[in-house]
Amino acid sequence: MRFIFKTSYHQDLGLFQDRQERNWYLALALGLLLTPFVLPAYLGDLSLMLIFGLCGVSLMVLVGYTGLVSLGHAAFLGIGAYTHVYFSQDLALPWVASVMLAAAVTAIAGALVGLPVLRLSGLYLAIATLAFALIIQEIFSRWDSVTGGIKGKAVERAVIFGYAIHEVTFYFLCLGFLLAVLWFTRNLLRAPAGRALIAIRDSELAAQSMGVNLTFYKTFAFAYSAAIMGFAGALFAHEVGFLAPDIFTALLSIQFLLMVVVGGLGSLHGAVFGAMFTALLPVVISSVRDSLPDWLGWAFGFFGTDASSAISAAVDRIVKQPGLEPGILGLMLVLFILFEPRGIYGRWLKIRLYFSQFPLYQRPTFTQKKSYMKSERFR
C-alpha cells in the first residue's frame, strides 16, 4: 500500500501522480516503441488498433464524459477520410495541411450536427445522429467528383515532407497522433471545459443552474469529438488503402460504441482498452482458430491417437463454422455488461488495487449498491 504525500502544487498539476506511475507509463511507451521490431507481422493490426484508439477517445469524450450518445460517428470517420484523400490526392496539398484541414472540416460537420440536436436527449439524440450519419453516407455515394461515388477510391501511401511512409513509420505516426490526442484530451478534461462536460452528463438541470452554457458546451463536445475522428479518418484512409461508402455504416458506429463500453465508460484508459479489444480480438480469434485444433489434438494425444484426431476434427468443425466471430464479439459484450459493467478498465483497476493492497483487499470496495431503475425521462 502506498501513500502519496503531497508537498507542492506541482504534484496536483502534473500529469502523473508520482514517480512510480510515471515510470510505469514510460515502460509502456518503451514497449510500444519496440513492438514493430518484435512483432513485425502484426504491424497492420497494431496500427489499426491505434487508429481505433483515436476513435475510442473521440467517442469517449462525447458519450463517456458528456453523456451524449451518438450512433453515427462512423460518418465523421468517413468525412475525415474522404476530405483528407481529396485534399492530399486531388488538390495535392501537403500532407500535414491536408490532415489539419480534414480535421477542421470534420469539426465543422460535427458542430453542424450538434446544433440542431441540442434539445434532444437519450434515444432521440441517438436516432437523430443515426439519421445524420445515413444522410452523410448517401452524400458519399452521390458526390462522385469528390468521393469517387460507389465505386470507391484508392488511397496512396502517405508522403510527409518528401518521405514516403511505410509500415513501420506509419505505426509510429499513428502512435504519435494517439499520444498527442490523449495528452490534449486529458488536459481538456481537467480544465473547466472538461468539468462542464461532466456536469452536463450528470445532470443538465444542475449544470444549467451552475452557469454552464449548454448550447456552447454540447456543440463544443460534438465538434471536438468530430475533430479527433477527422484525424482518425485520415489515418484510417491510409491504413485501409481503399475508401468506399459502405465502410462507414451504422454497424461500424455501433462497433465503436461497443468498443467504448467494453473498454470502460468514463475513462480515457477505457478508450484504449476498448480499441485493443476490438482491433485485436479478430486477430486472436483467427490465430486460435488455425492452431486450436492442433493444440487440443496434441493435448489429448495422451489418451491415444484416435481420441486425439477425433477431438481435433470435432473442434476444427466447430471453430471453422462461419458466422461465429460476430457471435463471439456479441457474447463478450454481453458477458462484460453482465459481470463487469465498468469494462476492462474497471477490471484492471480492481486487479491493481488487489496487488497494491495485498493482503487487505476487500471485494465490496467496488460493489455497486443495489439500485432501482429510475425513469430517465424525468431527470
Q: Which of residues 231-270 bind another protein (CB under 8 A)?
A: 239-242, 244, 246-247, 250, 254, 257-258, 261, 265
Write out the three cell numbers for 360. 487487505
- Beta carbon nearer to another protein, 94 or 149: 149
Q: How far is the CB of 10 from another protein (least distance, A)?
A: 29
- Beta carbon nearer to another protein, 108 or 324: 324
What string marks each residue from 70 to 109 as x (binds another protein by CB under 8 A) or -? ----------------------------------------
Alpha carbons 90 and 146: distance in angstroms, whole number: 8
DSSP, collapsed to helix, strand or coil, labels residue 154 as strand
Q: How far is the CB of 345 from another protein (least distance, A)?
A: 14
- Beta carbon nearer to another protein, 101 or 235: 235
Q: Which residues of 201-212 are buried (b: 16+ CB within 10 A; e: fewer)?
A: beebeebeeeeb
Single out the residue of 20, 23, 187, 286 in contact with another protein (rule: CB under 8 A): 286
Asked whether position 124 contacts another protein by CB under 8 A, the answer is: yes
Asked whether position 120 contacts another protein by CB under 8 A, the answer is: yes
Asked whether position 130 contacts another protein by CB under 8 A, the answer is: yes
Residues 202, 189, 111, 104, Cα dihedral to 10°: -170
DSSP, collapsed to helix, strand or coil, labels residue 224 as helix
Length of the chain, please? 379
Single out the residue of 15, 20, 26, 151 in contact with another protein (rule: CB under 8 A): 151
Alpha carbons 261 and 257: distance in angstroms, whole number: 6
DSSP, collapsed to helix, strand or coil, labels residue 164 as strand
Q: How far is the CB of 155 from another protein (least distance, A)?
A: 9
Asked whether position 172 contacts another protein by CB under 8 A, the answer is: no
Angle made by CA atoms 104, 275, 281, in degrees to the nearest 5? 145
